Amino acid sequence: MDNLGVPQGPVLVTGGAGYIGSHTVRALERRGVPVIVLDNLSTGHRAAVKVPLEVVDLADRAALGRVFMAYRPTAVIHFAARAYVGESVGDPSRYYRENVINTWNLLEAMRAAACRDIVFSSTCATYGDPVRVPIDETHPQQPISPYGRTKLHMEHMMQDYGRAYGLRWAALRYFNAAGASRDGDLGEHHEPETHLIPLVLGVAQGKRPEILIFGDDYDTPDGTCIRDYVHVDDLADAHLRALSKLQQGSPELVCNLGTGNGFSVREVIEAARRITGHAIPARITPRRAGDPSRLVSGGTRARELLGWTPRTTAIEDIVSDAWRFHRAFPNGYSF
């Protein structure tokens, strides 16, 4: 089974300077797979990339074509996209352009270069408001934000290209990516930061006075939202397995990537208090628009198809890896 962790390269990783991308690049390198990163550095970080980096925007079709000609990648792992739900509501045009149209550009460049395998970042946001939890891959896909809709369009595009042109594709629907690499030199750094764990750790570092809890009147045991936090190194591992599986002949794969465990906002804050030894003041504010009360992955597809089981599932371990990165790089990659 474990040859599923070793894809054939060279692999082009779009968005490889970003959070999940950089961890996946590291995992490929570790297995000796040649990697090229393509990133416009709009949200990614040059310091997170230690392999050849092409600073190219996916909107630039000529430059994209040149990268394919120069490196002749046999496969693509596609992370480059915008991923802020709130921003997508205010500026859907940007999301359709950067997520959908730029993915079309990428698929066309792949066709022109006869590169047929792609693994890409999808999201549990394609399910929308869950009608049942845990959410397995057969759950209806009715996204409620432009962000979720653009990711669903991307899935559909790949499916159609698969049928018509023989593209082999994997859509990995992540739940909440979290944590940081065990080596401590890669982690999560977004500008602006909107994610719970880095914000909570920012309070412990004195960067913010308090963490705001977005609603404590949800239908959950402690009233705060429950999410499935999945370690970024486990996500990286799943991408390698998915790519190997395509390269072994699977035409398409759709898998959730989550642990199946849900933790509430309060439980995350409690874990961070224990790990950091900081009081981490918290204040309840009204709900954030569009937050479902529970998002937890169900199903066994990733295990069955990819032999993937997340190794780090305890919230303490996930938060503690994130904390190691935050302590080592208090300003993220802006040294």
Query: Contact 24/72 with Cβ under 8 angstroms?
Result: no
Among 66, 97, 195, 278, contact with ligand UDP (rule: CB under 6 A): 195
Measured CA to CA, the distance from residue 52 to residue 332 in angstroms comes to 21
Nearer to ligand UDP, 74 or 123 (CB): 123
DSSP at 119? E
Name which position in 38, 107, 196, 318 contacts ligand UDP (CB under 6 A): 196
Closest to 39 measured CA to CA, from 333, 335, 325: 333
Measured from the CB of residue 89, what is the shortest distance to ligand UDP in angstroms?
13
Given 127, 147, 161, 229, which residue is catalytic? 147
Handedness of CA 48, 237, 142, 227 (dihedral sign): negative
What is d(CA 195, CA 189) in angstroms, rounded to the nearest whole number? 10
Nearest distance, CB of residue 269 and ligand UDP, angstroms: 9
Contact 13, 36 (CB under 8 A): yes
**Binding residue for ligand UDP (CB under 6 A) from 145, 176, 276, 297?**
176
Assess whether 174 carries a catalytic annotation.
Answer: no
Query: For 143, how many CA atoms within 13 A lie in the half-sphere containing its CB?
Result: 20
**Straight-line distance from the first to the last Cα atom of the chain, in angstroms, rounded to the nearest whole number:** 41
Q: Which residues contact 280 (CB under 8 A, 6 or more apart)?
A: 200, 203, 204, 210, 211, 269, 272, 273
Of 14-22, 155-163, 193-201, 238-246: span binding ligand UDP (CB under 6 A): 193-201
Among 194, 248, 331, 334, binds ligand UDP (CB under 6 A): 194
> What are 118's two structure tokens?
């792609």
Contact segment (CB under 6 A) with ligand UDP among 66-74, 157-165, 188-196, 251-259 equals 188-196
Strand partners, 226: 264, 294
Report, in Å, the least distance between residue 288 CB and ligand UDP. 5
Rounded Cα gap, residues 283 and 281, in angstroms: 7
Q: At residue 70, what is the residue type?
A: A
Pick from 107, 199, 201, 257 the residue near ligand UDP by CB under 6 A. 199
Nearer to ligand UDP, 194 or 248 (CB): 194
Please check whether residue 221 is in contact with residue 267, taking contact to mean a CB–CB distance below 8 angstroms. Answer: no
Q: In this complex, which beta carbon is closest to ligand UDP, that of residue 118 or of residue 178?
A: 178
Spatial separation of the C-alpha atoms in residues 327 and 275, rounded to whole Å: 12
> Which of 17, 225, 242, 272 lies at the binding interface for ligand UDP (CB under 6 A)?
225
| Touching ligand UDP, residues 251-290 (CB under 6 A) | 265, 288
171 touches 79 (CB < 8 A): no
232 lies in the binding site for ligand UDP (CB under 6 A): no
* Minimum distance, C-beta of residue 305 to ligand UDP, in the bound complex (Å): 24
Stretch that binds ligand UDP, among 15-23, 74-82, 205-213, 297-305 (CB under 6 A): 205-213
# of chain residues touching ligand UDP (CB under 6 A): 14
Query: Given candidates 66, 291, 317, 330, which one binds ligand UDP under the rule CB under 6 A?
Result: 291
Question: In this complex, which beta carbon is closest to ligand UDP, that of residue 16 or of residue 258?
Answer: 258
| Count, residues in the chain | 335
The residues binding ligand UDP (CB under 6 A) are 176, 194-196, 199, 211-214, 225, 227, 265, 288, 291
Q: Which residues are catalytic?
A: 147
